[in-house]
Chains A and B, each alone.
Chain A
Amino acid sequence: MSVIQSLVDEYRRYKALAEAAIAQVGDEELGHAGHDGGNSIEMLIRHIAGNLKSRFTEFRTSDGEKPWRHRDDEFESAGLSRTALLQVWEESWSVLFVELEKLGDGDLSSTVTVRRQPLRIDEALHRSLAHTAYHVGQIVFMAKAMRGGGWRTLSIPKGKSEEYNQKATGETAAAHAKKLMER
């Protein structure tokens, strides 16, 4: 497996985790701010999307923080419908995956810039995956709080670790993502 493929698989895992969580919350709940005016799931979706679209549009030839991106606006409610929100989400992931398809492991030591700072491509990709996983963790946490006892678990159910270990089926990131998408 190439470095790029291992990253693609993890990106797909976190995309699927977020989507499986988003599917469990109501349309209105997407816009519910956290305590103390904290971020809503809608804001986190738009923030991840804004980040990915900015970083990976013309990934190798222009700075990763685009002049058209308004990062602060991502933390203000845009009042988007679920359909519109998921369209923004899908578009950004599509930009990422198209760009990753063009890359090979031989490109990893080349440099890109983010906010005028040079970064090796492997560092830029790991940093981006870390950022995405960080906020997906928050989306899942908030969705779970909203669903309470009705939450459908996204990984190994509580108290089922040993049973799962006997016949593990979601061991690779790709298999885990596939399992989540087939639900």
Chain B
Amino acid sequence: MTPALAAWRPGVERHNIWELIVHAAYWKYVAWRRLTGAKRGSFPLAGSNFLARPVENTKAALQADLDLLDEMHRVLREAAAAVPAGALDLGSAQRGVTKRALLTGVAAHDLYHAGQIQLLKRLERTCRAEARQREGG
């Protein structure tokens, strides 16, 4: 994926793929924190939920955010694997939510946004082709 594709927005105030990448990383971090009981404030980036992207529209900046997504995924998977089966139905640090429900929820959340990323890729390709046609015509 190129930085241009990741940064493309379908409209004003609509999220781009890049923001969805960081959003997914952020919620994996939140799930990890709620699973392990770790304190708030250790997400490597400033801000929460949806962070504006790109700050720098470069390949290196995109790769850094993709690496962050990978790292948050790895850490969450490790924490999930470390929960004994018998403890899955105990509460997490999220009020009223068991560890099992937390993990089921964050997995579905990932897929929800994955569907949107696929849609954005297709939209960007189409809009780019239409723009080329307009320029050519």
Please report A residues at the B interface, Cβ cutoff 8 Å.
Answer: 1, 3, 6-7, 9-10, 13-14, 17, 34-36, 38, 126, 129-131, 133-138, 140-142, 144-145, 148, 156, 158, 161-162, 168, 171-173, 175
Most chain A beta-carbon neighbours within 10 Å: one of B95, B101, B109, B114? B101
> Could you tell me if B100 and A1 are in contact, using CB atoms closer than 8 angstroms?
yes
Q: Select which of B14, B109, B113 is within 8 A of A145 by beta carbon.
A: B14
* Extra pairs beyond A130-B107, A131-B111, A137-B114 (5, CB < 8 Å): A10-B105, A35-B127, A129-B111, A134-B115, A138-B119
**Interface: B49 (CB within 8 A):** yes
Q: Select which of A34, A36, A171 is within 8 A of B94 by beta carbon.
A: A171
Measured CA separation A138–B112 after assembly (Å): 8
Minimum CB–CB distance for B80 against chain A, Å: 13
> Could you tell me if A129 and B98 are in contact, using CB atoms closer than 8 angstroms?
no
> Could you tell me if A172 and B96 are in contact, using CB atoms closer than 8 angstroms?
yes
> Could you tell me if A1 and B101 are in contact, using CB atoms closer than 8 angstroms?
yes
Residue of B with least CB distance to A160: B49
**Interface: B97 (CB within 8 A):** yes
**Interface: B10 (CB within 8 A):** yes
Tally inter-chain residue pairs, CB-CB below 8 A. 95
Residues on A with C-beta less than 8 A from B74 are none
**Interface: B57 (CB within 8 A):** no
Residues on A with C-beta less than 8 A from B127 are 35
Measured CA separation A134–B110 after assembly (Å): 8
Q: Select which of B97, B115, B122 is within 8 A of A35 by beta carbon.
A: B122
Residue of B with least CB distance to A136: B112
Q: Mark B80-108, 1 if CB is under 8 A from A, else 0.
A: 00000000010000111110110011011
State whether A137 and B48 are in contact (beta carbons under 8 Å apart), knowing that A145-B10, A168-B95, A171-B97 are contacts in the complex: no
> Could you tell me if A6 and B98 are in contact, using CB atoms closer than 8 angstroms?
yes
Residues on B with C-beta less than 8 A from A148 are 11
Residues on B with C-beta less than 8 A from A14 are 108, 112
State whether A161 and B48 are in contact (beta carbons under 8 Å apart), knowing that A171-B94, A171-B95 are contacts in the complex: yes
Measured CA separation A171–B120 after assembly (Å): 28
> Could you tell me if A34 and B122 are in contact, using CB atoms closer than 8 angstroms?
yes
> Could you tell me if B111 and A133 are in contact, using CB atoms closer than 8 angstroms?
yes
Residues on B with C-beta less than 8 A from A17 are 112
Residues on A with C-beta less than 8 A from B50 are 158
Residue of A with least CB distance to B125: A36
Residues on B with C-beta less than 8 A from A7 are 104
Q: Select which of A3, A137, A156, A171 is within 8 A of B112 by beta carbon.
A: A137
Residues on B with C-beta less than 8 A from A162 are 48
Offer 13 A-B interface pairs, CB within 8 angstroms, sorted by A. A7-B104, A10-B105, A10-B108, A34-B119, A35-B126, A129-B104, A129-B108, A131-B111, A133-B109, A134-B115, A135-B115, A137-B113, A171-B96
